[in-house]
Amino acid sequence: MSRERKHASCPALLVAAPGSGQGKTLVTAAFVRRQRRLGRRVRVFKAGPDFLDPMVLEVASGQPVDNLDLRLLGVDGCARRLADAATGADLIVVEGVMGLHDGVPSSAELAAAFGLPVLLVIDAAAMAQTFGAVALGLASYRQEVALHGALANRVGGAAHAAMLRDALPPSVRWIGHLPACADAALPERHLGLVQAREIDDLERRIDAAADALRVDDTLPAAIRFEAPAAMPPRPMLRDVRIAVARDEAFSFIYPANVELLRELGAEIAFFSPLRDTALPPCDALWLPGGYPELHLAALAANAGMREAIIAHHAARRPMLAECGGMLYLCESLRDASGNGAPMVGVLPASATLGPRLAALGQQSVEFAAGELRGHTFHHSTLDTTLQPWRRAATANGVAGEAVYRVGALTASYVHFYFPSNPQAAAGLFR
């Protein structure tokens, strides 16, 4: 029997670039803030697995920012999120990931799947007529990807902007430009942007960029988004209370993961390993990724929290530790400068931050209830005598990250996307 289909229409744009580092997030934030000033209701998504950019875009839009990814969600899952957003929005903006055609799946594939016109953002700081060549190449590379137009970023002044505009061929529309404005730039560190909550003047930076943005505000035609209505998940976690670490050290949490756990019947209790000295009453524990290496002294000094987690583990209550959460459970953690500190110690391992990226990409793990998908992105390495309980696989089937099982603890560098397999996700907390 076919399920009822949900549909809604709304103009939409996908903001993309030739590659990473072109300034997509700041341009997207400025554009979204500008649209809000015009009285438009804007919903924002981030393409691909990402935690940091959505934090900034949430501040810019005033709305929660979810991820869209064809591999993690599938076409129907992405379509449902877009249709839900379209019912209450005047505009949907999707920030792409990496370069427009980079990755599997790429931002271009997402644009093609839903007919999202692409707003190209090109860092033109050191460009003149080549700006037009780059825009034309990206516009013509895949015929099924429609172009809304090109926007020049980090422009030197009015004369530079005019030169860039005139370099575009007639087939590529000039949308506008954002001047180079150092006071609006978003600070970065390893893994990407600095977390939104750590940028004290983030609102001012977004406003400054929105003030400086010179852009044609004409929106593309509305797109009809249609998808099968989602079947409500079985309450597999009814009466399960899950304590979730959330603070400056542990913040890599997909909003969709928390939403799914609640749909499965779980009660969520957030806590801070940095400041709280005890766990909230709970049946299961989730330590997500983040930046524990930036808070070594505070984490090491919080003996009460370490003892509470050790007691939780000794009682064989379920625990999931992802990436930074796994590092926190090691016996010791050393940052990239060589500074080390003792951690919780329930995982017989030591971890060390390195100067270069150790792993990047989408991976999945096969559990008893099937494949649970996610991604990995880290600079650290683990030294342990533990043998992997499972081994993740990359999208092309190559062996990936180790998954460790110690008692009721499941630990890995993989950041799981729970909606990719609700039953497997529920199994981690039962």
Residue 38: partners with Cβ closer than 8 Å, 6 or more residues away: 217
Contacts of 420 (CB under 8 A, 6+ apart): 72, 73, 364, 371, 372, 373, 374
Cis peptide bond N-terminal to 105, omega within 30: yes
| Contact predicate 420/395, CB 8 Å | no
Q: Tokens 């575009």, residue?
A: 168
313 three-state secondary structure: helix
CA 169/CA 161 separation, integer angstroms = 15
Q: Are 176 and 138 in contact (CB under 8 A)?
A: no
Annotation marks residue 10 as catalytic: no
The CA distance from 330 to 325, in Å, is 9
Taking CA atoms, 220 is separated from 28, 82, 246, 357, in Å, by 16, 16, 38, 39
Q: Which long-range contacts (CB under 8 A, 24 or more apart) does 232-235 make?
A: 232/263, 233/260, 233/263, 233/264, 233/422, 234/264, 235/264, 235/265
Which segments of 59-102 are extended strands (E)?
Answer: 66-68, 91-95
Cβ atoms of 384 and 349 within 8 Å: the answer is yes
Angstrom distance (rounded) from CA 289 to CA 183:
30
Listing from the earlier edge strand, what are the strands of the sheet with 347-353?
A: 340-342, 330-334, 347-353, 380-384
| R_g of the chain, CA atoms, integer Å | 22
Determine how many CB atoms are found less than 10 A away from the CB of residue 5. 12
Which residue's structure tokens are 């990226």? Answer: 357
Residues 6+ apart with CB under 8 A from 127: 134, 152, 164
Which pairing describes strands 399-406 and 409-412: parallel, antiparallel, or unpaired? antiparallel
Catalytic residue (choose from 10, 78, 282, 323): 323
| Residue positions annotated with a catalytic role | 323
